[in-house]
Amino acid sequence: MEEKKECTGCKHRTKECSEKERRDMLNRLSRIEGQVRGIRKMVENDVYCPDILIQVSAVSAALNSFNKVLLAEHLRSCVVDDIKEGKEDEAIDELVRVLQKLMK
């Protein structure tokens, strides 16, 4: 089951996620990583700039999609758990800070 704990080395909160959730996130990141490597090869091979820009846009969209999935999961688990534990103000403050950073 999912369990929140603190990392003993840095005091940041961590979250245990299901194996499927972890695998899905890692698969998405691997695809994005492959796209970035492809862009690097395009630059190395002097590919036409607009073609590279289109690929960069695709990577950006993939990262945004990853963020949306991760944020939704965070809301469904961590935020709900904090509210159930009576930590509404802390959960909302943290969520506001995260959203402000995402919307830069």
pLDDT for 23-59, tens place per residue?
Answer: 999 999 999 999 999 999 999 999 999 999 999 999 9
For residue 32, give both structure tokens. Answer: 């994005």
The Cα 88–Cα 85 span in angstroms is 8
pLDDT in tens, 60-90: 999 999 999 999 999 999 999 999 999 999 9
pLDDT at 18 (0 to 100): 87
Burial of 68 (0-12, 13-18, 19+ CB in 10 A): exposed
The pLDDT, as a whole number, for residue 30 is 98
What is the C-alpha to C-alpha distance for residues 85 and 92, in angstroms, rounded to an integer?
13
